[in-house]
Chains A and B, each alone.
Chain A
Protein backbone atom coordinates (compact mmCIF):
# COMPACT_ATOMS: atom_id res chain seq x y z
CA UNK A 1 0.00 0.00 0.00
CA UNK A 2 2.86 2.30 0.91
CA UNK A 3 4.55 1.64 -2.43
CA UNK A 4 1.32 2.46 -4.29
CA UNK A 5 0.94 5.74 -2.41
CA UNK A 6 4.59 6.63 -3.08
CA UNK A 7 4.10 6.00 -6.79
CA UNK A 8 0.85 7.92 -6.99
CA UNK A 9 2.42 10.89 -5.23
CA UNK A 10 5.44 10.62 -7.55
CA UNK A 11 3.22 10.67 -10.63
CA UNK A 12 1.29 13.65 -9.27
CA UNK A 13 4.43 15.62 -8.44
CA UNK A 14 5.97 14.94 -11.84
CA UNK A 15 2.76 15.91 -13.64
CA UNK A 16 2.54 19.11 -11.57
CA UNK A 17 6.20 20.00 -12.14
CA UNK A 18 5.79 19.47 -15.89
CA UNK A 19 2.53 21.41 -16.05
CA UNK A 20 4.14 24.39 -14.31
CA UNK A 21 6.81 24.58 -17.02
CA UNK A 22 4.48 24.28 -20.01
CA UNK A 23 5.67 27.66 -21.37
CA UNK A 24 9.07 26.13 -22.10
CA UNK A 25 7.39 24.08 -24.84
CA UNK A 26 7.87 27.18 -27.01
CA UNK A 27 11.66 26.97 -26.87
CA UNK A 28 13.05 25.86 -30.25
CA UNK A 29 14.94 22.90 -28.79
CA UNK A 30 11.89 21.63 -26.88
CA UNK A 31 9.70 22.10 -29.95
CA UNK A 32 12.08 20.03 -32.05
CA UNK A 33 12.19 17.34 -29.38
CA UNK A 34 8.42 17.34 -29.18
CA UNK A 35 8.02 16.95 -32.96
CA UNK A 36 10.51 14.09 -32.96
CA UNK A 37 8.52 12.37 -30.26
CA UNK A 38 5.23 12.82 -32.15
CA UNK A 39 6.86 11.17 -35.15
CA UNK A 40 8.12 8.28 -33.04
CA UNK A 41 4.99 7.79 -30.93
CA UNK A 42 2.23 8.81 -33.33
CA UNK A 43 3.26 8.26 -36.90
CA UNK A 44 5.22 5.16 -35.97
CA UNK A 45 2.14 3.54 -34.43
CA UNK A 46 -0.24 4.26 -37.34
CA UNK A 47 0.59 1.18 -39.45
CA UNK A 48 -0.07 -1.21 -36.56
CA UNK A 49 -3.19 0.69 -35.51
CA UNK A 50 -4.51 0.68 -39.09
CA UNK A 51 -4.12 -3.06 -39.53
CA UNK A 52 -5.75 -3.77 -36.17
CA UNK A 53 -8.58 -1.38 -36.99
CA UNK A 54 -9.38 -3.10 -40.30
CA UNK A 55 -9.36 -6.53 -38.71
CA UNK A 56 -11.34 -5.47 -35.64
CA UNK A 57 -14.05 -3.69 -37.62
CA UNK A 58 -14.63 -6.66 -39.90
CA UNK A 59 -14.40 -9.22 -37.09
CA UNK A 60 -16.83 -7.37 -34.82
CA UNK A 61 -19.48 -6.98 -37.48
CA UNK A 62 -19.14 -10.57 -38.60
CA UNK A 63 -19.55 -11.84 -35.03
CA UNK A 64 -22.51 -9.57 -34.38
CA UNK A 65 -24.24 -10.64 -37.57
CA UNK A 66 -23.63 -14.29 -36.68
CA UNK A 67 -24.87 -13.96 -33.11
CA UNK A 68 -27.56 -11.29 -33.34
CA UNK A 69 -28.86 -11.78 -36.84
CA UNK A 70 -29.25 -9.21 -39.59
CA UNK A 71 -30.65 -6.38 -37.44
CA UNK A 72 -28.68 -3.55 -39.04
CA UNK A 73 -29.64 -0.94 -36.43
CA UNK A 74 -28.36 -3.13 -33.60
CA UNK A 75 -25.10 -3.74 -35.42
CA UNK A 76 -24.68 -0.05 -36.14
CA UNK A 77 -25.39 0.90 -32.52
CA UNK A 78 -22.83 -1.57 -31.22
CA UNK A 79 -20.41 -0.46 -33.90
CA UNK A 80 -20.68 3.11 -32.67
CA UNK A 81 -20.87 2.60 -28.91
CA UNK A 82 -18.76 -0.50 -28.64
CA UNK A 83 -16.15 0.00 -31.30
CA UNK A 84 -16.03 3.72 -31.97
CA UNK A 85 -16.43 5.00 -28.43
CA UNK A 86 -15.04 2.17 -26.31
CA UNK A 87 -12.70 -0.18 -28.13
CA UNK A 88 -10.94 2.26 -30.46
CA UNK A 89 -9.56 4.56 -27.70
CA UNK A 90 -8.75 1.57 -25.51
CA UNK A 91 -6.90 -0.41 -28.16
CA UNK A 92 -5.08 2.68 -29.42
CA UNK A 93 -3.89 3.34 -25.88
CA UNK A 94 -2.77 -0.27 -25.52
CA UNK A 95 -0.76 0.00 -28.75
CA UNK A 96 0.92 3.16 -27.48
CA UNK A 97 1.63 1.64 -24.06
CA UNK A 98 3.23 -1.44 -25.55
CA UNK A 99 5.31 0.50 -28.11
CA UNK A 100 6.15 3.85 -26.60
CA UNK A 101 5.87 3.51 -22.84
CA UNK A 102 8.58 0.86 -22.65
CA UNK A 103 10.78 2.73 -25.10
CA UNK A 104 10.50 6.06 -23.22
CA UNK A 105 11.13 4.45 -19.82
CA UNK A 106 14.16 2.50 -21.11
CA UNK A 107 15.66 5.54 -22.82
CA UNK A 108 15.31 7.70 -19.72
CA UNK A 109 16.58 4.92 -17.45
CA UNK A 110 19.75 4.57 -19.53
CA UNK A 111 20.25 8.33 -19.45
CA UNK A 112 19.77 8.38 -15.66
CA UNK A 113 22.23 5.54 -15.13
CA UNK A 114 24.88 7.27 -17.26
CA UNK A 115 24.58 10.53 -15.34
CA UNK A 116 23.08 12.43 -18.27
CA UNK A 117 20.45 14.07 -16.09
CA UNK A 118 23.28 15.62 -14.08
CA UNK A 119 25.06 16.63 -17.29
CA UNK A 120 21.87 18.34 -18.52
CA UNK A 121 21.45 20.23 -15.24
CA UNK A 122 25.06 21.39 -15.48
CA UNK A 123 24.25 22.76 -18.93
CA UNK A 124 21.56 24.84 -17.24
CA UNK A 125 18.81 22.76 -18.85
CA UNK A 126 16.08 21.27 -16.70
CA UNK A 127 15.41 17.58 -17.53
CA UNK A 128 11.72 18.37 -17.01
CA UNK A 129 11.85 20.89 -19.88
CA UNK A 130 13.91 18.91 -22.35
CA UNK A 131 13.14 15.28 -21.56
CA UNK A 132 9.74 15.02 -19.87
CA UNK A 133 7.71 17.87 -21.37
CA UNK A 134 8.20 16.85 -25.05
CA UNK A 135 7.37 13.22 -24.36
CA UNK A 136 4.27 13.89 -22.28
CA UNK A 137 2.98 16.51 -24.72
CA UNK A 138 3.65 14.25 -27.69
CA UNK A 139 1.68 11.39 -26.15
CA UNK A 140 -1.21 13.68 -25.21
CA UNK A 141 -1.41 14.93 -28.82
CA UNK A 142 -0.55 11.73 -30.69
CA UNK A 143 -2.91 9.34 -28.92
CA UNK A 144 -6.13 11.17 -29.93
CA UNK A 145 -4.83 11.26 -33.51
CA UNK A 146 -4.15 7.52 -33.47
CA UNK A 147 -7.58 6.98 -31.90
CA UNK A 148 -9.28 9.02 -34.62
CA UNK A 149 -7.48 7.09 -37.33
CA UNK A 150 -8.40 3.81 -35.64
CA UNK A 151 -12.05 4.84 -35.38
CA UNK A 152 -12.32 5.92 -39.00
CA UNK A 153 -10.60 2.80 -40.37
CA UNK A 154 -12.42 0.38 -38.05
CA UNK A 155 -15.83 1.89 -38.83
CA UNK A 156 -15.07 1.90 -42.55
CA UNK A 157 -14.08 -1.77 -42.33
CA UNK A 158 -17.27 -2.46 -40.36
CA UNK A 159 -19.42 -0.70 -42.96
CA UNK A 160 -17.90 -2.82 -45.70
CA UNK A 161 -18.59 -5.95 -43.66
CA UNK A 162 -22.22 -4.93 -42.97
CA UNK A 163 -22.80 -4.09 -46.62
CA UNK A 164 -21.32 -7.41 -47.66
CA UNK A 165 -23.03 -9.64 -45.10
CA UNK A 166 -26.43 -7.98 -45.07
CA UNK A 167 -26.51 -7.18 -48.79
CA UNK A 168 -27.08 -3.47 -48.23
CA UNK A 169 -25.82 -0.46 -50.15
CA UNK A 170 -22.75 1.14 -48.58
CA UNK A 171 -24.38 4.57 -48.63
CA UNK A 172 -27.37 3.24 -46.71
CA UNK A 173 -25.10 1.59 -44.11
CA UNK A 174 -23.10 4.80 -43.65
CA UNK A 175 -26.28 6.86 -43.40
CA UNK A 176 -27.73 4.68 -40.65
CA UNK A 177 -24.45 4.85 -38.71
CA UNK A 178 -24.28 8.63 -38.94
CA UNK A 179 -27.91 8.93 -37.77
CA UNK A 180 -27.04 6.98 -34.63
CA UNK A 181 -23.68 8.67 -33.98
CA UNK A 182 -23.50 11.24 -31.17
CA UNK A 183 -20.94 14.06 -31.73
CA UNK A 184 -20.50 14.53 -27.98
CA UNK A 185 -19.41 10.93 -27.61
CA UNK A 186 -16.89 11.45 -30.40
CA UNK A 187 -15.38 14.37 -28.48
CA UNK A 188 -15.51 12.36 -25.28
CA UNK A 189 -13.56 9.52 -26.88
CA UNK A 190 -10.84 11.93 -28.02
CA UNK A 191 -10.70 13.56 -24.58
CA UNK A 192 -10.36 10.10 -23.05
CA UNK A 193 -7.44 9.39 -25.38
CA UNK A 194 -5.73 12.69 -24.57
CA UNK A 195 -5.98 12.02 -20.84
CA UNK A 196 -4.72 8.46 -21.29
CA UNK A 197 -1.81 9.78 -23.35
CA UNK A 198 -0.90 12.26 -20.61
CA UNK A 199 -0.94 9.56 -17.96
CA UNK A 200 1.07 7.10 -20.07
CA UNK A 201 3.70 9.81 -20.58
CA UNK A 202 3.86 10.80 -16.91
CA UNK A 203 4.16 7.19 -15.77
CA UNK A 204 6.84 6.30 -18.34
CA UNK A 205 8.89 9.41 -17.52
CA UNK A 206 8.57 8.76 -13.78
CA UNK A 207 9.80 5.18 -13.93
CA UNK A 208 12.53 6.00 -16.42
CA UNK A 209 13.95 8.83 -14.33
CA UNK A 210 13.67 6.94 -11.03
CA UNK A 211 15.32 3.75 -12.25
CA UNK A 212 18.31 4.07 -9.91
CA UNK A 213 16.04 4.31 -6.91
CA UNK A 214 14.30 1.08 -7.74
CA UNK A 215 17.16 -0.82 -6.18
CA UNK A 216 18.61 -2.43 -9.30
CA UNK A 217 21.65 -1.41 -11.39
CA UNK A 218 22.40 -1.19 -15.07
CA UNK A 219 20.49 -3.63 -17.30
CA UNK A 220 18.21 -4.74 -14.48
CA UNK A 221 17.26 -1.16 -13.73
CA UNK A 222 16.44 -0.48 -17.37
CA UNK A 223 14.24 -3.54 -17.75
CA UNK A 224 12.58 -2.88 -14.37
CA UNK A 225 11.77 0.68 -15.46
CA UNK A 226 10.23 -0.57 -18.72
CA UNK A 227 8.15 -3.24 -16.98
CA UNK A 228 6.83 -0.82 -14.38
CA UNK A 229 6.05 1.79 -17.02
CA UNK A 230 4.08 -0.67 -19.14
CA UNK A 231 2.29 -2.34 -16.22
CA UNK A 232 1.26 0.88 -14.52
CA UNK A 233 0.47 2.46 -17.88
CA UNK A 234 -2.00 -0.32 -18.62
CA UNK A 235 -3.68 0.17 -15.25
CA UNK A 236 -3.94 3.91 -15.88
CA UNK A 237 -5.51 3.36 -19.31
CA UNK A 238 -8.23 1.11 -17.88
CA UNK A 239 -8.76 3.45 -14.93
CA UNK A 240 -9.40 6.33 -17.35
CA UNK A 241 -11.77 4.10 -19.31
CA UNK A 242 -13.78 3.23 -16.23
CA UNK A 243 -13.80 6.86 -15.08
CA UNK A 244 -15.20 8.07 -18.41
CA UNK A 245 -17.81 5.30 -18.42
CA UNK A 246 -18.98 6.34 -14.95
CA UNK A 247 -18.97 9.99 -15.92
CA UNK A 248 -21.17 9.32 -18.94
CA UNK A 249 -23.51 7.21 -16.89
CA UNK A 250 -23.86 10.03 -14.36
CA UNK A 251 -24.38 12.66 -17.04
CA UNK A 252 -27.09 10.64 -18.76
Chain B
Protein backbone atom coordinates (compact mmCIF):
# COMPACT_ATOMS: atom_id res chain seq x y z
CA UNK B 1 0.00 0.00 0.00
CA UNK B 2 1.02 3.53 -0.52
CA UNK B 3 0.71 6.22 2.13
CA UNK B 4 -0.47 9.49 0.70
CA UNK B 5 -0.42 12.80 2.49
CA UNK B 6 -1.08 14.88 -0.59
CA UNK B 7 -4.23 16.86 -1.34
CA UNK B 8 -3.06 17.58 -4.86
CA UNK B 9 -3.31 14.67 -7.28
CA UNK B 10 -2.87 14.02 -10.96
CA UNK B 11 -4.22 10.99 -12.77
CA UNK B 12 -3.00 9.95 -16.20
CA UNK B 13 -4.28 7.18 -18.47
CA UNK B 14 -1.80 6.29 -21.21
CA UNK B 15 -0.50 3.13 -22.89
CA UNK B 16 -2.97 0.94 -21.02
CA UNK B 17 -1.72 2.15 -17.65
CA UNK B 18 -3.15 4.41 -14.99
CA UNK B 19 -0.68 6.55 -13.10
CA UNK B 20 -1.75 8.35 -9.94
CA UNK B 21 0.71 10.94 -8.74
CA UNK B 22 0.71 12.71 -5.40
CA UNK B 23 3.34 14.80 -3.68
CA UNK B 24 4.66 11.70 -1.86
CA UNK B 25 5.02 9.42 -4.83
CA UNK B 26 3.38 7.62 -7.67
CA UNK B 27 1.21 4.53 -8.14
CA UNK B 28 0.95 2.78 -11.49
CA UNK B 29 -1.61 0.16 -12.47
CA UNK B 30 -1.86 -1.84 -15.67
CA UNK B 31 -5.42 -1.63 -16.94
CA UNK B 32 -5.95 -5.03 -18.50
CA UNK B 33 -4.14 -7.44 -16.21
CA UNK B 34 -6.66 -7.63 -13.42
CA UNK B 35 -4.46 -5.70 -11.02
CA UNK B 36 -5.78 -4.84 -7.59
CA UNK B 37 -4.06 -2.00 -5.81
CA UNK B 38 -4.74 -0.24 -2.56
CA UNK B 39 -4.04 3.39 -1.71
CA UNK B 40 -4.14 4.41 1.95
CA UNK B 41 -4.75 8.11 2.48
CA UNK B 42 -4.06 9.90 5.73
CA UNK B 43 -7.14 12.13 5.90
CA UNK B 44 -10.58 12.62 4.43
CA UNK B 45 -9.66 15.84 2.60
CA UNK B 46 -6.91 14.09 0.67
CA UNK B 47 -9.26 11.22 -0.13
CA UNK B 48 -11.95 13.64 -1.34
CA UNK B 49 -9.43 15.40 -3.57
CA UNK B 50 -8.24 12.10 -5.03
CA UNK B 51 -11.79 10.87 -5.65
CA UNK B 52 -12.74 14.17 -7.32
CA UNK B 53 -9.71 13.90 -9.61
CA UNK B 54 -10.49 10.29 -10.48
CA UNK B 55 -14.16 11.15 -11.10
CA UNK B 56 -13.16 13.50 -13.90
CA UNK B 57 -11.55 10.66 -15.84
CA UNK B 58 -13.99 8.88 -18.15
CA UNK B 59 -11.99 5.66 -17.78
CA UNK B 60 -12.79 5.31 -14.08
CA UNK B 61 -15.87 4.09 -12.26
CA UNK B 62 -16.39 5.10 -8.65
CA UNK B 63 -18.06 2.85 -6.12
CA UNK B 64 -18.30 4.43 -2.66
CA UNK B 65 -19.84 2.85 0.42
CA UNK B 66 -23.31 4.24 -0.41
CA UNK B 67 -23.32 2.73 -3.89
CA UNK B 68 -22.68 6.02 -5.72
CA UNK B 69 -26.17 6.30 -7.24
CA UNK B 70 -28.77 9.02 -6.53
CA UNK B 71 -30.86 7.81 -3.60
CA UNK B 72 -33.95 9.79 -4.55
CA UNK B 73 -34.41 7.90 -7.82
CA UNK B 74 -35.82 4.39 -8.08
CA UNK B 75 -33.67 1.34 -8.81
CA UNK B 76 -35.10 1.13 -12.33
CA UNK B 77 -34.38 4.80 -13.04
CA UNK B 78 -30.86 4.53 -11.70
CA UNK B 79 -30.00 1.46 -13.75
CA UNK B 80 -31.58 2.97 -16.85
CA UNK B 81 -29.43 6.08 -16.46
CA UNK B 82 -26.26 4.18 -15.51
CA UNK B 83 -26.49 1.59 -18.26
CA UNK B 84 -28.51 3.03 -21.14
CA UNK B 85 -28.14 6.82 -21.05
CA UNK B 86 -25.70 6.87 -23.96
CA UNK B 87 -27.51 3.95 -25.60
CA UNK B 88 -24.46 2.02 -26.75
CA UNK B 89 -25.98 -1.26 -25.59
CA UNK B 90 -28.44 -3.22 -27.66
CA UNK B 91 -31.67 -3.80 -25.71
CA UNK B 92 -31.33 -7.60 -25.78
CA UNK B 93 -27.84 -7.76 -24.28
CA UNK B 94 -28.86 -5.21 -21.67
CA UNK B 95 -31.72 -7.40 -20.40
CA UNK B 96 -29.72 -10.63 -20.33
CA UNK B 97 -26.67 -9.14 -18.65
CA UNK B 98 -28.79 -7.28 -16.13
CA UNK B 99 -30.69 -10.40 -15.06
CA UNK B 100 -27.42 -12.26 -14.76
CA UNK B 101 -25.91 -9.46 -12.67
CA UNK B 102 -28.93 -9.43 -10.33
CA UNK B 103 -28.46 -13.15 -9.79
CA UNK B 104 -24.75 -12.73 -9.11
CA UNK B 105 -25.50 -10.04 -6.54
CA UNK B 106 -27.86 -12.33 -4.69
CA UNK B 107 -31.20 -10.78 -5.73
CA UNK B 108 -33.72 -13.57 -6.21
CA UNK B 109 -36.67 -13.51 -8.61
CA UNK B 110 -39.12 -12.63 -5.85
CA UNK B 111 -37.00 -9.65 -4.77
CA UNK B 112 -36.58 -8.43 -8.37
CA UNK B 113 -40.29 -7.88 -8.77
CA UNK B 114 -40.36 -5.46 -5.83
CA UNK B 115 -37.08 -3.75 -6.46
CA UNK B 116 -37.61 -1.70 -9.60
CA UNK B 117 -39.98 0.89 -8.14
CA UNK B 118 -38.24 1.23 -4.79
CA UNK B 119 -36.12 4.29 -4.24
CA UNK B 120 -32.50 3.55 -3.42
CA UNK B 121 -32.69 5.35 -0.10
CA UNK B 122 -35.46 2.93 0.95
CA UNK B 123 -33.09 -0.03 0.58
CA UNK B 124 -30.66 -1.31 3.18
CA UNK B 125 -27.06 -0.01 2.86
CA UNK B 126 -25.88 -3.47 1.74
CA UNK B 127 -28.55 -3.69 -0.99
CA UNK B 128 -27.83 -0.16 -2.07
CA UNK B 129 -24.13 -0.94 -2.45
CA UNK B 130 -24.90 -4.13 -4.38
CA UNK B 131 -27.05 -2.16 -6.86
CA UNK B 132 -24.07 0.18 -7.29
CA UNK B 133 -21.80 -2.80 -7.91
CA UNK B 134 -24.33 -4.35 -10.26
CA UNK B 135 -24.02 -1.53 -12.80
CA UNK B 136 -20.24 -2.12 -12.94
CA UNK B 137 -20.74 -5.85 -13.40
CA UNK B 138 -22.84 -5.06 -16.49
CA UNK B 139 -20.65 -2.22 -17.79
CA UNK B 140 -17.20 -2.50 -16.22
CA UNK B 141 -14.99 0.60 -16.45
CA UNK B 142 -11.29 0.50 -17.31
CA UNK B 143 -10.49 1.10 -13.65
CA UNK B 144 -12.98 0.55 -10.84
CA UNK B 145 -12.26 2.60 -7.73
CA UNK B 146 -13.63 1.42 -4.39
CA UNK B 147 -13.89 4.56 -2.33
CA UNK B 148 -13.42 4.17 1.42
CA UNK B 149 -15.57 1.08 1.78
CA UNK B 150 -14.32 0.26 5.24
CA UNK B 151 -15.35 3.58 6.73
CA UNK B 152 -18.34 3.56 9.10
CA UNK B 153 -19.90 0.26 8.10
CA UNK B 154 -20.90 -2.78 10.13
CA UNK B 155 -19.00 -6.04 9.99
CA UNK B 156 -21.79 -7.65 7.96
CA UNK B 157 -21.73 -4.79 5.42
CA UNK B 158 -17.95 -4.99 5.20
CA UNK B 159 -18.13 -8.72 4.46
CA UNK B 160 -20.79 -8.11 1.79
CA UNK B 161 -18.53 -5.56 0.16
CA UNK B 162 -15.48 -7.83 0.32
CA UNK B 163 -17.53 -10.57 -1.37
CA UNK B 164 -18.68 -8.05 -3.95
CA UNK B 165 -15.10 -7.09 -4.79
CA UNK B 166 -14.19 -10.76 -5.21
CA UNK B 167 -17.27 -11.25 -7.41
CA UNK B 168 -16.31 -8.32 -9.64
CA UNK B 169 -12.85 -9.76 -10.26
CA UNK B 170 -14.25 -13.24 -10.82
CA UNK B 171 -16.64 -11.89 -13.48
CA UNK B 172 -14.07 -9.50 -15.01
CA UNK B 173 -10.70 -11.12 -14.36
CA UNK B 174 -8.80 -8.72 -16.60
CA UNK B 175 -10.25 -5.50 -15.21
CA UNK B 176 -8.19 -3.62 -12.64
CA UNK B 177 -9.38 -2.01 -9.44
CA UNK B 178 -8.10 0.45 -6.90
CA UNK B 179 -9.17 0.60 -3.28
CA UNK B 180 -8.90 3.93 -1.49
CA UNK B 181 -8.84 3.61 2.29
CA UNK B 182 -8.31 5.98 5.16
CA UNK B 183 -5.47 5.11 7.52
CA UNK B 184 -6.56 3.21 10.62
CA UNK B 185 -10.05 2.16 9.44
CA UNK B 186 -11.42 -0.50 11.75
CA UNK B 187 -12.75 -2.76 8.99
CA UNK B 188 -9.46 -2.98 7.09
CA UNK B 189 -8.84 -6.56 8.15
CA UNK B 190 -12.13 -7.74 6.60
CA UNK B 191 -10.99 -6.47 3.22
CA UNK B 192 -7.44 -7.71 3.81
CA UNK B 193 -8.67 -11.25 4.45
CA UNK B 194 -10.19 -13.72 2.12
CA UNK B 195 -10.56 -13.29 -1.58
CA UNK B 196 -9.14 -9.81 -2.01
CA UNK B 197 -5.53 -10.86 -1.35
CA UNK B 198 -6.10 -14.59 -1.70
CA UNK B 199 -4.83 -14.85 -5.24
CA UNK B 200 -1.02 -15.01 -5.17
CA UNK B 201 -0.97 -13.52 -8.65
CA UNK B 202 -2.37 -10.19 -7.45
CA UNK B 203 0.25 -7.52 -6.99
CA UNK B 204 0.11 -6.25 -3.44
CA UNK B 205 1.31 -2.66 -3.25
CA UNK B 206 4.21 -2.25 -0.85
Chain A positions near chain B (C-beta within 8 angstroms): 27-29, 107, 110-111, 114, 116, 119-120, 122-125, 130
Partner of B68 from the list A28, A107, A119, A130 (CB cut-off 8 Å) is A119
When the two chains form the complex, which single residue of A27, A28, A111 contacts B70, counting CB atoms closer than 8 Å?
A111
Give me 13 A-to-B residue pairs in the complex whose CB atoms sit less than 8 angstroms apart, sorted by A's number.
A29-B77, A29-B80, A29-B81, A114-B71, A114-B72, A116-B70, A116-B73, A119-B70, A120-B81, A122-B55, A123-B70, A123-B81, A123-B85
B120 to chain A, nearest CB (A): 10
Q: Are A122 and B72 in contact (CB under 8 A)?
A: no
Taken together as a complex, chains A and B put the C-alpha atoms of A107 and B70 apart, in Å, by: 13
B69 contacts across to A, CB distance below 8 A: 119, 123
- 9 other contacts beyond A107-B72, A122-B62, A123-B70, with CB at 8 A cut-off? A27-B85, A28-B84, A29-B81, A29-B85, A116-B71, A123-B82, A123-B85, A124-B85, A125-B85
In the complex, what residue of chain A is closest to B60 when comparing beta carbons?
A122
Interface residue B24 (Cβ < 8 Å from any Cβ of A): no
Cβ of B86 under 8 Å from chain A: yes
- Kindly identify, within residues 32 to 86 of chain B, every residue whose CB is under 8 Å from any CB belonging to chain A: 55, 58, 62, 68-73, 77, 80-82, 84-86
A110 with B81, Cβ < 8 A, contacts A122-B62, A124-B86 known: no
- CB–CB B72/A111 < 8 A: yes
Contact (Cβ within 8 A) B70 A120? yes
Complex CA distance for A130 and B62, rounded to whole angstroms: 20
A29-B77, A29-B80 as given contacts; A122 in contact with B68, CB under 8 Å: yes
CA distance A114 to B121 in the complex (A): 11
Chain A residues, Cβ within 8 Å of B77: 29
Taken residue by residue from 80 to 96, chain B's Cβ proximity to chain A (1 for < 8 Å, 0 otherwise) reads as 11101110000000000
For B55, what are the chain A residues with a Cβ–Cβ distance below 8 Å? Answer: 122
- The CA of A107 and the CA of B73, in the complex, are separated in Å by 11
Choice from A27, A28, A116, A123 contacting B72 with Cβ under 8 Å: A116
Contact call A125/B72, Cβ cutoff below 8 A: no
Q: Which chain B residues numbered 81 to 135 have a C-beta less than 8 Å away from chain A?
A: 81-82, 84-86
> Contact: A130 with B81, CB < 8 Å?
yes
Set of chain A residues within 8 Å of B73, measured between Cβ atoms: 116
Of chain B, the residue at the smallest CB distance from A29 is B80
- A107 — which chain B residues lie within 8 A by C-beta? 72
* Chain B min CB distance to A32 (Å): 8
Complexed CA–CA distance, A28 and B72 (Å): 19
Residues of B within 8 A of A114 (CB): 71-72
B97 to chain A, nearest CB (A): 18
Residue on A nearest B82 in the bound complex, by CB? A123
Shortest CB–CB separation between residue B56 and chain A, in angstroms?
10
Instruction: Specify the chain A residue showing the minimal Cβ separation from B80.
Output: A29
The 9 closest A-B pairs by CB, nearest first: A116-B70, A119-B70, A125-B81, A111-B72, A29-B80, A123-B82, A122-B55, A123-B81, A125-B85
With both beta carbons as reference points, the residue of chain A lying nearest to B135 in the complex is identified as A123
Roughly how many angstroms separate A107 CA and B71 CA in the complex, as a whole number?
12
In whole angstroms, what is the CA distance A122 to B69 when docked? 9
Q: Which residue of B lies closest to A116 (CB)?
A: B70
Question: Please, how many angstroms separate the alpha-carbon atoms of A116 and B80 in the complex?
Answer: 16
